[in-house]
Amino acid sequence: MNACQQLAITQFGQPSVLAMQTAEIPVPSDSQVLVRVAYAGVNPIDAKTRAGLGWAAQQNKDNLPWVPGYDIAGKVVKVGANVQELAVGERVAGFVGFPLAGGGYSEYVAVEADALSRVAKGVPLANAAALPLAGQTAWQALDKGQADENDRVLILAGAGGVGHIAIQLAVARRANVMASCSAANMAFVSGLGATAVDYHQAPLAEQIEPVDVLIDLMGGDIGIAALDCVKAGGRVVTIPTITADAVCEQAQLQGLEAEGMLVSPSVEQNNAMMAMLEAGQLQLHIAAQYPLSDGAKAHSDIEAGHTRGKIVLAVGSSE
């Protein structure tokens, strides 16, 4: 059998445009390994691309059907001729195909061997699949914001996929962390080590003292309003690309340092966070697991905007 199942974007639009398709199992090149995918992470960029928004969508508009997915975890089933660092049977995870190739929503994926992290036996593959894109976004945002020991850091959407990881990474840096969330997520966010701030209660600037660093995971009017929380000369990193220019322009008018960010795959950062997972120093909350064929439901959940932690697709093999 040389065929595998994939979930593809057949045309741009609502989640219902996602459909299962059959494809040939890829043959790894000399520098690649073939991974039998156990789980694929679901990220907001997947849904944005499916809706026809953003650069990946524009670049792939003539390549439909196109298989999304940048986070995978599974087992190596074949290695290329020049691959020495990984062997058949090893558990691996990684941030793959970013931004134009995608491909994670598939039972088998050929991946450059040096793009993958080993997954320790004690780490569930579902958690390993949920980590790469969100974790590296959180890590790089904190780096860009120069968040350091004793800095006051505000993270918007602290209960979300990137937010709940960013809280823990900022706490590990010994920052003083605050995070916005709904009332339903106050205990969850507090349990991660942040001071939880209910955004429904009052404007954030009325609830907290000024901060050194704002990690804006919301963008738009919410991101702009949160600028009032940042002290003069403070630092702002905004993640949603569609509103980054507007947030940065307003931040600069208010005397703040601000920049947008596009995550860049880093296996070194992924390895470091995998080690934290294994040591129990980082917790990944999985909000839901759906079969690959139910990817439309996963996209609907992501677009609803109230997911606590991460969503993954159960693609193929068991642990």
| pLDDT recorded at residue 305 | 84
* Tokens coding 98: 């970013």
Query: Cα separation of 221 and 241, whole Å?
Result: 14
Nearest in space to 109 (alpha carbons), one of 125, 120, 97, 127: 97
Residue 78 pLDDT more than 80?
Answer: yes
Residue 253 neighbours by CB distance under 10 Å = 10
**Residue 280 binned pLDDT confidence (cut-offs 50, 70, 90):** very high
Query: Cα separation of 92 and 43, whole Å?
Result: 19
Residue 318 pLDDT more than 90?
Answer: no
Write down the CATH superfamily of domain 3-131+284-314.
Medium-chain alcohol dehydrogenases, catalytic domain (3.90.180.10)
Q: How many helices (H) and strands (E) does the chain have?
A: 11, 15
Residue 241 neighbours by CB distance under 10 Å = 16
Q: Phi/psi of residue 241, each to 5°?
A: -70, -30
Alpha-helix runs per DSSP H in 174-316: 186-191, 204-207, 220-226, 244-253, 267-279, 295-304
- Which residues share a beta bridge with 178? 154, 195
Residue 317 pLDDT more than 70?
Answer: no
Residue 169 pLDDT more than 60?
Answer: yes
Cα 51 versus chain centre, distance: 18
Mean pLDDT along residues 172-188: 98
Cα 28 versus chain centre, distance: 26
Query: Cα separation of 65 and 21, whole Å?
Result: 9
Length of the chain: 319
| pLDDT recorded at residue 268 | 98
List the chain domain ranges: 3-131+284-314, 134-260
Mean pLDDT along residues 11-18: 98
Strand segments (E) across 43-126: 71-79, 91-95, 108-112, 116-118
Query: Cα separation of 83 and 89, whole Å?
Result: 14
| pLDDT recorded at residue 186 | 98
Kindly report the CATH class assigned to 134-260. alpha beta
Evaluate whether 3-131+284-314 and 134-260 have a shared fold: no
Mean pLDDT along residues 70-85: 98
Residue 98 pLDDT more than 90?
Answer: yes
Q: Is the Cβ–Cβ distance between 51 and 45 less than 8 Å?
A: no
Mean pLDDT along residues 85-92: 98
Exposed / middle / buried, residue 63 (Cβ in 10 Å: 0-12, 13-18, 19+)? exposed
Query: How confident is the model over 216-262, as pLDDT tens digits?
Result: 999 999 999 999 999 999 999 999 999 999 999 999 999 999 999 99
